[in-house]
Amino acid sequence: MELKNLGWDAHFSDKFSELGEESWFPARVAQDNGKSCRLLWQEGELRAEVAGRLRHEATTGSQLPAVGDWVAISPRREEGAATIHAVLPRRSAFSRKVPGEHNTEEQIVAANVDIAFLVMGLDRDFNVRRLERYLTLAWDSGATPVIALNKADTCADVESKVAAVEAVAWGVSVHAISAVQGEGVAPLKEHLQPGKTAALLGSSGVGKSTLANCLSGLETQRIGGVRENDGRGRHTTTHRELVALPNGAVLIDNPGMRELQLWADEEGLKQSFEDVESLAASCRFADCAHGGEPGCAVHEALATGELEQSRLDSYLKLQREMSYLAARQEQKVHLVNKERGKKLAKFIRGMKKNS
């Protein structure tokens, strides 16, 4: 197996060389099962565990191997196994906040991705506001977003829904497709170039598994249906998996995400809401909150119909969510530092007492 067909290039080669360990080999994480990983490397597949030192030194779960990561390993060929000693710096990463109100950790959904296929169904799954959230994270990840509106064969008003998506997806190509029938998929396949990595992202039941099989030409994923009562999909893809395609491209399929909390900075939001940001730049006050202040260009656009209220509401909601997350993270750092200070003071007192 040639490493270049797994996405290996000069960038990762340089990062690997910096480790300075001649006995280690590069490999890419194809599957993460929690306690172990499945890797692809120059000699095929290996199962692997993370070295104790690497696990101990990781301060957050996001520093441990994720699907799409390049890692440095010491293989045990006779066992078909390996130990992971290091994770190479990621060139891009699609992340979300770990689900849960009180958790402020990052979860890597897919690492070192070039193309983020954002898949949304043209059925009851259709939700422009949720797509804005995906776009914000995609822009922040460093990957190029491409929107695939699936199940066009079941939709009576495809053109209007495509137009609604194009109105919020600035600079992003939008494709109406039917993965089941293989229609409209050709433009997506053009992104699957040798050495490039694409990830399929979207809710459960949007047809990611069907699309994965269609794009790869392989039956890599089991296909399931959608519940009739609520339109939600059954989790046919139960784990993230990286697949090396016959043409030298790489495809990462993901389970449907029922919860997608933001993990992004202001740049991702600015790119996703370029229209609102452009208007805001013309506001009289630099710190305008767009809540009715005099000289607010955003509210003038609302009055003229240039901007929809729902679009502004979505922008402000995501902005508040990002601010809340930043505040929670700052509070967590403060509490951690405070606890460290207490332990240090206790240690010093003990030293003085024993001296």
DSSP assignment of 196-220, as one string? -EEEEEE-TTSSHHHHHHHHHSS--
Cα separation values, 163 from 1, 168, 352, Å: 43, 9, 72
Please say if the pLDDT value at position 279 is more than 70.
yes
Residue 342, H or E segment: helix 309-354
Please say if the pLDDT value at position 183 is more than 90.
yes
Residue bearing the bigger pLDDT, 338 or 121: 121
Distance CA 278, CA 315 (A): 13
Q: What DSSP designation does 173 have?
A: E
- Paired tokens of 13: 């080669």
Confidence class for position 333, pLDDT limits 50, 70, 90: very low
| Residue 181: strand, helix, or coil | coil
For 122-171, the pLDDT digits (tens) are 998 899 999 998 898 898 888 999 999 999 999 999 999 999 999 999 88
Helix axes 297-304, 309-354, angle to 10 degrees: 150
| Residue 278: strand, helix, or coil | helix
For 237-262, the pLDDT digits (tens) are 557 899 999 999 999 998 876 656 66
Residue whose token pair is 């139960």: 238
Distance CA 84, CA 253 (A): 23
**114, 243 in Cβ contact below 8 A?**
no
- Paired tokens of 190: 């053009």
Q: What DSSP designation does 78 have?
A: G
pLDDT of res. 331: 47
Distance CA 93, CA 64 (A): 13
**What domains can be seen in the chain, in order of their start residue?**
3-87 (2.40.50.140), 93-253 (3.40.50.300), 273-355 (1.10.40.50)
Please say if the pLDDT value at position 347 is more than 90.
no
| Mean pLDDT value across the chain | 85
